[in-house]
Amino acid sequence: MNTKELEIFSHLARTLHFAKTGEAMHLSASAVSRTIQRIEEELGVVLFERDNRRVMLTPAGREVLRYSEQALANWQGLLQRLNQSGRELSGELSLYCSVTAAYAVLGAVLETFRNRYPRIELKLHTGDQADSLERVAAGEEDIAITARPEHLHQRLAFQVLTHSPLRLIAPAVNCAVSELVSGPELPWDKLPVIMSERGVARVELERWFRLHGIRPNIYAQVSGHEAIASMVALGLGVGVVPELVLANSPIVDKLRVLPLADEMNPLAVGVCTLKQRLDNPLISAFWQVAASVS
């Protein structure tokens, strides 16, 4: 197997989607399939079980994936060491985070990083922070800024940069929701709740609801904390967002924080990458800078 074939196999093993792997590798889905067939013939084992509805990694496939990821990490590390021997670090890093994290958390890290390593180019991709860990695990991003889940996958390394409390927010405008939250007790059975579709904040909110025996009246499930803040500001319901999002929101004056007798656990926000890639000189440089400014 050559390096290109290892990259194709590793990406498919993480996404289990031929079309997505083809798009990422600039190949057709059929070309990806032919590559996998060549690898299977070379090794004499079946790596993927596939039918019309799904693709699954076999036990042999999982074994090859461990080898493949280590081999690719060693290869990239070797290339970096050879290229940077006696020279200033240079190259490209891809980084994924939410829009809020880009300026609320990443700003201080980037300022120091650019001063120390002006020849390293950062490719920043923004989106729902709930996608961060999956993108790093799939090899789509080198690094992500995100919230740490309670159970972090053993393949991932995480360094906490800051903590952000979770806040229950309501609209500041006069509306039906404002009237519902005006009393001494919150009528959860009537309150429309806007939640994130998934992610660490949702997991914590669901835990808090269970702890207090609350069955929320879910009005909407959206992608990203910024979307929750926007919908709450419009008077559509209440929601829970990290303090980082609230403090940096352009619509903070249209929101108000509701006190809770029992606060939710804060989010641990930090930088994440694959453990096996920490020896990559570029990733290691970013990791060390992040630690120095946290």
pLDDT of residue 84: 58
pLDDT of residue 85: 54
Does residue 233 sit in the same domain as residue 173? yes
Range of the domain at 284: 88-161+268-293
Does residue 78 sit in the same domain as residue 135? no
Average pLDDT over residues 50-64: 88
Does residue 174 sit in the same domain as residue 237? yes
> Which of the 8 DSSP states describes residue 126?
E
Does residue 208 sit in the same domain as residue 243? yes
Does residue 205 sit in the same domain as residue 126? no
Is residue 143 classed as helix, strand or coil in its secondary structure? strand
Distance, CA of 16 to CA of 248 (rounded, Å):
37
Report the mean per-residue pLDDT for the chain: 90
Q: 277, 75 in Cβ contact below 8 A?
A: no
Alpha-carbon separation of residue 33 from 51, 83, 188 (angstroms): 13, 33, 51
Q: Among candidates 164, 162, 165, which has minimal Cα distance to 294?
A: 162
**Sign of CA pseudo-dihedral 197, 203, 208, 210:** positive
Q: Among candidates 240, 275, 242, which has minimal Cα distance to 152?
A: 275
Does residue 253 sit in the same domain as residue 280? no
pLDDT of residue 289: 92
Does residue 45 sit in the same domain as residue 180? no
Report the percentage of the chain scoring pLDDT > 70. 97
Report the percentage of the chain scoring pLDDT > 90. 59
How many domains in the chain? 3
Helix, strand counts (H, E) of the chain: 12, 12
Total residues belonging to the chain: 294
Most confident of the ranges 83-87, 144-148, 152-156: 144-148
Q: Summarize pLDDT for 1-25 with one digit per residue, the tens.
A: 888 888 899 899 988 998 889 888 8
pLDDT of residue 146: 94
Does residue 146 sit in the same domain as residue 274? yes
For the CA atoms of the chain, what is the radius of gyration? 22
- CATH number of the domain encompassing residue 240: 3.40.190.10
Does residue 94 sit in the same domain as residue 113? yes
Q: Summarize pLDDT for 193-247 with one digit per residue, the tens.
A: 999 999 999 999 999 999 999 999 999 999 989 999 999 999 999 999 999 999 9
Q: How confident is the model at residue 129 (pLDDT cuts 50, 70, 90)?
A: confident
Q: Among candidates 266, 260, 177, which has minimal Cα distance to 217?
A: 177
Quote the pTM value: 0.71
pLDDT at 78 over 80: no
Q: Summarize pLDDT for 61-75 with one digit per residue, the tens.
A: 999 998 888 888 888
Per-residue HEC secondary structure of 231-263 comes to: HHHCCCCEEEEEHHHHHCCCCHHHEEEECCCCC
CB half-sphere exposure, 133, CA atoms < 13 A: 19
Does residue 111 sit in the same domain as residue 152? yes
